[in-house]
Amino acid sequence: MGEKPSIIRRFSDSPIDLNDKTIMITGGTGSFGKAFLDFVISNYTPKRTIIFSRDEFKQHEVAMKYPKAEYPALRFFIGDVRNADRLEMAMRGVDYVVHAAAMKQVAAAEYNPFECIHTNVIGAENVIRAAMRTGVKKVIALSTDKAANPVNLYGASKLASDKIFISGNYLSGSGGTRFSIVRYGNVVGSRGSVVEVFKRLIEEGAESLPITDDRMTRFWISLTQAVHFVTSCFEMMAGGEVFVPKIPSMSVVDLTEAMAPGMPTHLIGIRPGEKLHETMIPVDDCRTTAELSDRYIIESMLDLSIPTVAERFGDSVQGVADNFAYTSDQNDERLGVEVLRKLLVEGNMLPANVTAP
C-alpha cells in the first residue's frame, strides 16, 4: 500500500492517559462509540469502560465481541439520555464522558421534532447535570458541521446542545466538571454517508450515479481519525472550546470518478436541509477562532475564568483572518481523484466490482 498523503493527519500524538480511569460513552453502540471503545480497549487498561445506550440487542452484539472473561472492566448500562436519574446512576465514579448519543438523521428530526429536541437538547442538559452531580472530570460532546449556521432541526438541536455544554462550564464553576465540544463533518463510509450509498449502488450494478449538485463538496474524515482527534482533545481541553480538526475536502464529482472510473452521473437536485458545501466554522465565529497546526479551536465568549488558548499553547497558536470561514469549498487541502481512490482502497470502501488500480 502506498504512503498516506500528508494531509491525512494523525491526531493522537499526545492523547490523554486513560489507564486506570473510568470512561463512559453515551451512544457507545453507535459507529463512533464502537470505534472509540475499540481504541480505548486496545490502547489502555481503564478501570472501567461503560457503554450507555437504549437497545439491548446492540449492546449484546458489542458484548459478544468483548467476552466478560477477557474484558472484565467493560460494563453495559441500558438507559436513555432523556432519563436524568439513570444517567446519574451510570456516571457514579466516572472520570471522563464522551457524549455521542444523538438522533442524527436530518429527515427523521424534521418529521419528529419533539423526539429530536428531547434526545439532542434535553438529553444534553441531563448529561451536564449528571456529570456535575457525580463529579466527572471532563466531558466531550460530539457535534456536527450541521450545527454551524444550521438550516435544519438536527443542526439547530446540536447547536443548542453545543451552547448548553459550553455554559455547563459556567454552571460547574472553577474546579468543577469541564465540558468541550468536538465538531466534524460526515464520517467517510458511515451509515447513510455518500461513500456508502455510491458503493451500494455500484455493487448493485447501477449504470449512472445520482448527484444532488455537481458543485457539491464535503470534508473527509475517517472514523479512526475522529476517535484519535477526540482523545487528543481530552488532553488539550480546559473547558468551553469547540475543537475542529483540519481535514481535507473533496468534490463529490471527483468521488464518483474515484469509485467508478468513467461511470456517468445524473443530477437529482439538492435535498431539503442539505447544503452545497459544509461549514465547520462560520465567518461570524472567526473573531474567537484560534489556529494550531492540526486544528482550529473556537473559544467561548462567556466569562469562564479559563486560560485562553493563546495562554495555554503560546507560540503555536495563530489568529485567523477577519473574514475567515472554514468551509469544504474554500479549504486549501483538497483530495484529487487518485488520492481518493487510494484512501478508498485503504479503508476497504472501494466497490467489490471495481478493480483497484
Ligand X SMILES: NC(=O)c1ccc[n+]([C@@H]2O[C@H](COP(=O)([O-])OP(=O)(O)OC[C@H]3O[C@@H](n4cnc5c(N)ncnc54)[C@H](OP(=O)(O)O)[C@@H]3O)[C@@H](O)[C@H]2O)c1
Question: Interface residues with ligand X (CB under 6 A)?
Answer: 26-33, 53-55, 58, 80-82, 100-102, 104, 119, 123, 142, 144, 158, 184, 186-187, 190
- Nearest residue to 17 via CA among 56, 48, 43: 43
Judged by beta carbon, residue 47 or residue 54, the one nearer ligand X is: 54
Judged by beta carbon, residue 54 or residue 75, the one nearer ligand X is: 54
Which triple of cell numbers denotes residue 140?
466531550
Asked if residue 242 lies in contact with residue 180, where contact means CB atoms within 8 angstroms, the answer is: yes
Cβ atoms within 10 Å of 239's Cβ, excluding its own: 22
58 is a catalytic site residue: no
Judged by beta carbon, residue 15 or residue 33, the one nearer ligand X is: 33
Instruction: For the CB of residue 291, give the shortest distance to ligand X in the complex, in Å.
Output: 21
Q: Which of 146, 158, 199, 342 is catalytic?
A: 146
Measure the CA dihedral 77/82/88/91, to 10°: 50
d(CA 218, CA 208): 20
| DSSP string of 44-68, one letter each residue | ---SEEEEEES-HHHHHHHHHHS-T
Which triple of cell numbers denotes residue 44?
489502555
- Nearest residue to 271 via CA among 117, 104, 102, 110: 110
Give me the helix-helix angle, 123-134 and 84-91, nearest 10°: 40
Residue sitting closest to ligand X (CB): 30
Judged by beta carbon, residue 24 or residue 187, the one nearer ligand X is: 187
d(CA 76, CA 78): 7
Judged by beta carbon, residue 192 or residue 264, the one nearer ligand X is: 192
> Percent helix, strand, coil in the chain (nearest 5)?
40, 20, 45
Who contacts 119 (Cβ-Cβ below 8 Å, separation ≥6)?
81, 82, 101, 102, 103
Q: Where are the beta strands (DSSP E) in the chain?
A: 22-26, 48-53, 74-78, 96-99, 138-144, 178-184, 209-211, 217-219, 242-245, 249-251, 265-267, 279-281, 289-291, 295-298, 318-319, 326-327
Instruction: For the CB of residue 75, give the shortest distance to ligand X in the complex, in Å.
Output: 15
Judged by beta carbon, residue 89 or residue 301, the one nearer ligand X is: 89
Judged by beta carbon, residue 32 or residue 243, the one nearer ligand X is: 32
d(CA 84, CA 321): 42
Positions annotated as catalytic residues are: 146
